[in-house]
């Protein structure tokens, strides 16, 4: 069934008339492009959601500021007309900044960033108009509409992303991918897609350049068999056989620029996305700049920024956030300190030497969660180590006290580290603070973790904590070091609060 026939069917009429359950969009034969169907439904829902949020925001601002039934007039317009105009401009700017583009919805911080830019631009435009044309708009009205609308838009996108993520975990709302590349690149890319199931990419077939008659019929990735559907010259046939709606090319060296151009021309008649993987991993979008040079689309990878304005902004944020956090959790700190002191002998705080920025050591503060002198028992317990790499971890460590186990489960033992942040030894968000013996076992690659301050939380904290393997911990830390930004830090802090609340991966 083609996409056009689908729209002529009953399910298609439901899409035209309203918004069917997203699950229905993946219940079609694989020979048509199902991705465009669920994406269109998702975008339509976002339009309705954004319109509802913006309307409620400006409507609430008018009611709170002026009351029900009042018709205050400014510049010849009632505030009812002003609210309608403001809502229309807001929706227009959301569309202009492509906040509902299928390239950004559902993954990463770019979607949130575009919403923020569109909203700030709108109110900047209003300020300029008010100044130039002497139009008096009540400040209280804007002071309500602006934050309520922005928070509502961000919250709405967050909810929709959670819905899609859950559906993708069940195999719905996915993008079917055909990978063209060497066997090793196919295995690596497929594992990454499987690991990040929320991205919605699922490999359904591969084409191996140079494959001849009688070669292997499938490749196995983490126990899943993926059919080999030909070589670099049979991509269109492989698409029809697999039902894929996206082609990812990693074999650029085998295809060459003529082969890539021919493939682009072959795919023109079809509603198929072509993606060329540059082979650069763990580099975020803002550092990648496409610049056409001499007819070649060259990807410039900007160097990570560890100094200057970004570093100053991060330091200022750390100080303000830590002061606010310490004041907010001061009752919890007091109760935890009393519980530690009353239930076991030893000091309230445990000072652990950690290695920070540029290899400098510092004393990291934690509430003591183990019996006094626990460090001296490590050698005797090393045979029961359940950690990987250079990490020492035990799920049922006999040195942990009853109070300590509770504090660890909800990461309350780490709250004193806000003092380390105020001392500028740590950051609120950053790589995991390592021990000296761990650093001594680092190779040259892992040492890049020390280009930024270690963090009280980080990608490792929101991605599994103690359940992560050593290799995965290193990969997440290096990815953060290479791509850190304030927007990413805010998202990590939000995810940390959720991870701590459920006590996932902590022991």
324 and 439 share one domain: yes
CATH number (domain holding residue 268): 3.40.50.1980
Q: What's this model's pTM, rounded to 2 decimal places?
A: 0.63
159 and 208 share one domain: no
Which of the listed residues 169, 193, 218 is the one where a domain comes to its end?
A: 169
Which of the listed residues 113, 140, 169 is the one where a domain comes to its end?
A: 169
Query: Is 141 a member of any domain?
Result: yes
Q: Is the dihedral of CA 64, 65, 70, 73 positive or negative?
A: negative
pLDDT, tens digit, 9 for 90 and up, residues 412-470? 999 999 999 999 999 999 888 888 887 887 776 777 777 788 999 888 777 766 566 66
User: Domain containing 337: what range?
Assistant: 309-502
Measure the CA–CA gap between 242 and 70, rounded to whole angstroms: 61
162 and 180 share one domain: no
355 and 463 share one domain: yes
Query: Is 292 a member of any domain?
Result: no
In Å, what is the CA distance from 328 to each residue of 4, 322, 422, 424?
A: 57, 10, 15, 20
Percent of the residues in the chain that have a pLDDT greater than 90, as a whole number: 20
Degrees to nearest 5, angle at CA 195 with 189 and 197: 100
Query: Is 318 a member of any domain?
Result: yes
318 and 182 share one domain: no
Q: Are strands 175-180 and 201-207 parallel, antiparallel or unpaired?
A: parallel
Query: Is 287 a member of any domain?
Result: no
Query: Is 389 a member of any domain?
Result: yes
164 and 180 share one domain: no
Query: Is 297 a member of any domain?
Result: no
Query: Is 234 a member of any domain?
Result: yes
Number of domains in the chain: 3
236 and 330 share one domain: no
Q: Which residues pair with 350 in a beta bridge?
A: 366
Q: Which range is least confidently modeled, 275-279, 299-303, 352-356, 480-484?
A: 299-303
Backbone angles phi, psi at 477, to 5 degrees: -65, -45
Which of the listed residues 279, 297, 329 is the one where a domain comes to its end?
A: 279
> What is the pLDDT, as a whole number, of residue 332?
93
155 and 233 share one domain: no
pLDDT, tens digit, 9 for 90 and up, residues 160-188? 888 888 888 777 778 888 988 888 888 88
161 and 269 share one domain: no
21 and 163 share one domain: yes
The DSSP annotation for 324-347 comes to HHHHHSHHHHHHHHHHHHHHSSS-
pLDDT, tens digit, 9 for 90 and up, residues 338-351? 999 998 888 999 99
313 and 330 share one domain: yes
> What is the pLDDT, as a whole number, of residue 21?
44
């Amino acid at each position: 069934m083609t996409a056009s026939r689908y729209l002529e069917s009953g399910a298609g009429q439901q899409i035209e008339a309203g918004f069917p359950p997203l699950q229905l969009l993946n219940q079609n034969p694989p020979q048509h492009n199902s991705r465009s169907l669920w994406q269109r439904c998702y975008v339509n829902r976002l339009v309705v959601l954004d319109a509802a949020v913006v309307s409620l925001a400006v409507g609430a601002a008018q009611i709170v500021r002026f009351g029900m039934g009042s018709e205050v007039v400014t510049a010849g317009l009632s505030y009812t007309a002003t609210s309608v105009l403001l809502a229309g401009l807001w929706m227009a700017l959301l569309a202009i900044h492509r906040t509902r583009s299928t390239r950004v919805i559902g993954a990463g911080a770019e979607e949130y960033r575009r919403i923020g830019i569109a909203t700030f631009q709108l109110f900047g435009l209003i300020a300029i108009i008010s100044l130039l044309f002497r139009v008096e708009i009540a400040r209280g009205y804007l002071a309500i509409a602006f934050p309520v609308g922005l928070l509502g838009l961000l919250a709405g996108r967050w909810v929709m992303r959670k819905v899609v993520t859950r559906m993708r975990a069940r195999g719905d709302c996915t993008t079917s991918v055909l990978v063209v590349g060497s066997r090793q690149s196919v295995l690596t890319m497929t594992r990454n897609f499987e690991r990040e199931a929320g991205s919605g990419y699922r490999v359904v077939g591969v084409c191996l350049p140079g494959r001849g008659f009688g070669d292997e019929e499938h490749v196995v990735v983490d126990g899943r068999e993926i059919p080999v559907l030909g070589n670099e010259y049979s991509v269109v046939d492989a698409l029809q056989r697999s039902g894929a709606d996206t082609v990812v090319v990693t074999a650029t060296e085998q295809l060459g620029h003529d082969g890539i151009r021919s493939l682009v021309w072959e795919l023109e008649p079809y509603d198929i996305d072509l993606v060329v993987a540059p082979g650069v991993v763990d580099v975020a979008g803002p550092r990648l700049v496409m610049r056409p040079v001499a007819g070649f689309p060259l990807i410039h990878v900007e160097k990570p920024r560890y100094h200057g304005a970004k570093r100053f902004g991060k330091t200022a944020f750390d100080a303000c956030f830590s002061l606010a956090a310490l004041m907010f959790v001061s009752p919890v700190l007091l109760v935890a300190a009393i519980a530690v002191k009353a239930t076991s002998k030893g000091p309230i705080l445990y000072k652990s030497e950690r290695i920070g920025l540029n290899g400098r050591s510092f004393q990291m503060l934690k509430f003591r969660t183990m019996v006094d002198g626990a460090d001296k028992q490590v050698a005797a317990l090393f045979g029961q180590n359940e950690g990987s790499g250079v990490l020492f971890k035990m799920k049922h460590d006999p040195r942990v006290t009853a109070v300590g186990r509770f504090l660890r489960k909800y990461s309350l033992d780490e709250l004193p580290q806000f003092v380390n942040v105020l001392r500028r030894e740590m950051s609120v968000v950053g790589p995991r603070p390592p021990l000296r013996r761990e650093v001594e076992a680092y190779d040259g690659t892992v040492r890049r973790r020390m280009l930024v301050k270690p963090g009280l939380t980080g990608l490792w904290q929101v991605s599994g904590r103690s359940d992560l393997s050593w290799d995965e911990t290193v990969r997440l830390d290096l990815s953060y070091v290479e791509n850190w930004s304030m927007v990413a830090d805010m998202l990590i802090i939000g995810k940390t609060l959720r991870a701590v609340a459920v006590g996932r991966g902590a022991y």
